């Protein structure tokens, strides 16, 4: 690495011969100045040209700008006797207070996580930052579905299988290159995957990263015939085929029982007719796990894509990378063997999915919320207004206090629930924690929207600008209402939790 004295850098201070220092690194911006999105003028001013422009730079750009290859190559060396101090690798855990959950903060303890989780988290963070993040940023912007290359790597590491939770489907699989054994895998490992996904700050892609598999495949795994399971599960978990869950309709959202799609028997076939709305990954799904009406009851049927199945994109406020679809079944014929569970037992199949889906949404929503807390702590520290950093203002610190308290409360509640999931049977979970999961989902989505509002104020104009400094805040502010609706609307969640508590009121309870 070439080194330069500060005095030498200072010689290069005019258009055509222009160097600057950012975080002890020397950049030759002589040619780049003409292309600079912020203009030439700002680079040739006296306080910047040939000078240490670190503070000015970080007041206006995200650190990742200098990591983009086209800008990284402007670096020609380092200042003699100085070392860069800005955290370089996005794969490292953040040192900013509250940016990581307590268990990942140096010097803190947790009763839930072991060495296995720590090892796993390091690998998963690295994988998500190096392999997934560049694809997430691209797809979030251009609306294309997740690239097959990333899907293949997710499958190589068995991340799609791990996202279904612990269980038999992990047997014999090599998890993250063998860093943990399938029998070690528990819901905290799964939480780690969801957290790394949520913190990418690209909400459309969070669903685009095959949320349809996470909610559409369990009914096949738990209720499909051996023939169906043996065919479909390996196809989906190897990333060769995609699946989605199709319950909601224009006629039925919160009130699932209002669904109108029908499955009628014709010999050994079901004939499916109807429409489904807001189906995540529906645009590129090969299989649809469809809730249907059959003779006054409900039955879930696995419907493969065919000419009788049409998918149309729904234009949502988040990125089309999620593949949200309006699905029409027009006399789609499906063998009766594709029934998932017993005929007429569809409501049980549908309900069996909800706790895990809601828990997953809580994980990704909470880690996205925490990422916003980190963004605000950093920004309010580096943005100078009225001659002081923003965090010198009591009103800003008060907003930060509320944000921190909200995310920490959600995290602690989530970890308690995850611990119960690790220790309870499926039936115990339905009985004891379905209501609590619903209440936590309501809490995390309500607090998420409060944090989105506070963060937007703290970031000012940048908080509503889709690129640059505030891009994560803008994405979160635009998309945090999603988690308050999909997987069960917020008010319905709160009501469900309280109704479950009321059912459990002891008969002898009196004031």
Ligand X SMILES: Cc1cc2nc3c(=O)[nH]c(=O)nc-3n(C[C@H](O)[C@H](O)[C@H](O)COP(=O)(O)OP(=O)(O)OC[C@H]3O[C@@H](n4cnc5c(N)ncnc54)[C@H](O)[C@@H]3O)c2cc1C
CA–CA separation, 282 and 301 (whole Å) = 16
Q: From the list 304, 492, 498, 500, which residue makes contact with ligand X (rule: CB under 6 A)?
A: 492
Q: How are beta strands 297-304 and 309-313 bridged, if at all?
A: unpaired
Select from ligand HEM, ligand X, none the partner in contact with residue 20, using the beta carbon and a kind-dependent cut-off of 5 to 8 Å: ligand HEM
**CB closer to ligand X, 336 vs 492:** 492
Q: Minimal CA–CA distance to 163: which of 16, 20, 319, 359? A: 359
Q: From the list 21, 56, 325, 439, which residue makes contact with ligand HEM (rule: CB under 6 A)?
A: 56
Between the CA of residue 429 and those of 166, 303, 345, 354, 435, what are the distances in Å? 14, 29, 20, 11, 10
Distance of CA 444 to the CA centre of its chain: 14
Binding flag, residue 500, ligand X (CB under 6 A)? no
**CB closer to ligand X, 146 vs 376:** 146
Binding flag, residue 33, ligand HEM (CB under 6 A)? no
Select from ligand X, ligand HEM, none the partner in contact with residue 84, using the beta carbon and a kind-dependent cut-off of 5 to 8 Å: none
Q: From the list 468, 494, 495, 498, which residue makes contact with ligand HEM (rule: CB under 6 A)?
A: 468
Nearest residue to ligand HEM, by Cβ distance, number only: 38
**Residues 276 to 315 in contact with ligand X, rule: CB under 6 A:** 278-280
Are 154 and 239 in contact by the 8 Å Cβ rule? The answer is yes
* Vertex 306 angle, CA 237 and 275, to 5°: 95
**CB closer to ligand HEM, 47 vs 89:** 47
Angle between helices 187-198 and 346-382 (to 10 degrees): 50
Binding flag, residue 247, ligand X (CB under 6 A)? yes
Binding flag, residue 472, ligand HEM (CB under 6 A)? no
Beta carbon of residue 484, minimum distance to ligand X (angstroms, whole number): 8
Beta carbon of residue 444, minimum distance to ligand HEM (angstroms, whole number): 30
Q: Minimal CA–CA distance to 215: which of 356, 365, 417? A: 356
**CB closer to ligand X, 192 vs 322:** 322
Are 424 and 432 in contact by the 8 Å Cβ rule? The answer is yes
**CB closer to ligand HEM, 72 vs 317:** 72
Sorted by sequence, the CB contacts under 8 Å of residue 115 that are 6+ apart come out as: none
Q: Quick one: tokens of 105? A: 């903060």
Are 317 and 288 in contact by the 8 Å Cβ rule? The answer is no
Beta carbon of residue 357, minimum distance to ligand X (angstroms, whole number): 9
Strands of 25-28's sheet, edge to edge? 3-4, 75-79, 25-28, 17-22, 13-14
| Number of neighbours of residue 309 by Cβ within 10 angstroms | 20
Beta carbon of residue 376, minimum distance to ligand HEM (angstroms, whole number): 17
The binding track of 70-109 with respect to ligand HEM, each residue x by CB under 6 A or -, is -x--x-----------------------------------
Binding flag, residue 326, ligand HEM (CB under 6 A)? no
> Among the candidate windows 76-84, 86-94, 248-256, 502-510, which touches ligand X by CB under 6 A?
248-256
Beta carbon of residue 203, minimum distance to ligand HEM (angstroms, whole number): 20
Select from ligand X, ligand HEM, none the partner in contact with residue 71, using the beta carbon and a kind-dependent cut-off of 5 to 8 Å: ligand HEM
Residue with tokens 């930052």: 129
Binding flag, residue 188, ligand X (CB under 6 A)? no
What are residue 13's phi and psi, to 5 degrees? -135, 25
Binding flag, residue 292, ligand HEM (CB under 6 A)? no
* Vertex 279 angle, CA 274 and 285, to 5°: 95
Burial 243-266 (b: 16+ CB within 10 A, else e): bbbbbbbeebbeebeebebbbeee
Beta carbon of residue 486, minimum distance to ligand HEM (angstroms, whole number): 31
What is the contact surface with ligand X in residues (CB under 6 A)? 244-248, 253-255, 278-280, 316, 324, 482, 485-492, 495
């Amino acid at each position: 690495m070439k080194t330069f004295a500060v005095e030498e850098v200072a010689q290069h201070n005019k258009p055509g011969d222009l160097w600057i220092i950012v975080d002890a690194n020397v950049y030759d911006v002589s040619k780049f100045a003409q292309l600079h999105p912020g203009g030439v003028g700002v680079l040739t001013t006296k306080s910047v040209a040939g000078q240490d422009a670190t503070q000015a730079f970080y007041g206006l750009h995200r650190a990742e700008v200098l990591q983009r290859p086209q800008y990284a190559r402007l670096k020609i060396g380092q200042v003699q006797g100085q070392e860069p101090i800005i955290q370089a690798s996005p794969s490292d855990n953040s040192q900013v207070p509250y940016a990581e959950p307590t268990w990942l903060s140096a010097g803190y303890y947790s009763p839930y996580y072991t060495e296995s989780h720590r090892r796993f988290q390091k690998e998963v963070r690295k994988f998500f930052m190096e392999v997934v993040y560049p694809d997430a940023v691209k797809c979030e912007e251009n609306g294309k579905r997740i690239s097959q290359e990333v899907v293949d790597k997710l499958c190589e590491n068995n991340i799609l299988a791990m996202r279904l939770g612990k269980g038999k489907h992990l047997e014999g699989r090599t998890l993250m290159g063998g860093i943990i054994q399938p029998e070690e895998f528990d819901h905290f490992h799964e939480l780690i995957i969801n957290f790394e996904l949520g913190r990418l700050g690209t909400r459309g892609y969070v669903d685009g990263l095959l949320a349809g598999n996470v909610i559409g495949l369990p009914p096949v795994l738990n209720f499909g015939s051996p023939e169906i399971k043996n065919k479909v599960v390996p196809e989906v978990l190897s990333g060769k085929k995609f699946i989605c869950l199709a319950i909601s309709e224009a006629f039925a959202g919160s009130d699932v029982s209002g669904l109108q799609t029908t499955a009628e028997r014709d010999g050994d076939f079901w004939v499916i007719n109807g429409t489904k709305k807001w189906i995540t990954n529906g645009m590129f799904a090969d299989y649809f796990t469809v809730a249907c009406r059959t003779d006054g009851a409900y039955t879930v049927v696995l419907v493969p894509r065919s000419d009788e199945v049409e998918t149309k994109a729904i234009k949502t406020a988040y990125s089309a990378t999620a593949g949200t679809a309006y699905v029409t079944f027009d006399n789609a014929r499906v063998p009766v063997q594709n029934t998932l569970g017993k005929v007429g037992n569809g409501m049980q199949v549908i309900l069996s999915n909800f706790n895990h889906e809601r828990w997953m949404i809580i994980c990704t929503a909470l880690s996205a919320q925490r990422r916003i807390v980190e963004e605000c702590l950093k920004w309010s520290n580096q943005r100078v207004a009225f001659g002081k950093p923003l965090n010198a203002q009591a009103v800003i610190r008060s907003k930060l206090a509320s944000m921190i308290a909200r995310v920490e409360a959600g995290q602690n509640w989530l970890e308690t629930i995850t611990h119960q999931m690790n220790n309870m049977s499926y039936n115990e979970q339905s009985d004891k924690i379905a209501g609590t999961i619903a209440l936590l989902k309501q809490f995390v989505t309500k607090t998420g929207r409060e944090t989105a509002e506070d963060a937007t104020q703290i970031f000012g104009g940048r908080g509503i600008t889709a690129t640059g400094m505030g891009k994560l805040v803008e994405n979160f502010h635009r998309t945090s209402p999603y988690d308050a609706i999909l997987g069960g609307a917020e008010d319905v969640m709160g009501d469900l939790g309280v109704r479950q508590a009321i059912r459990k009121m002891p008969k002898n309870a009196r004031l």
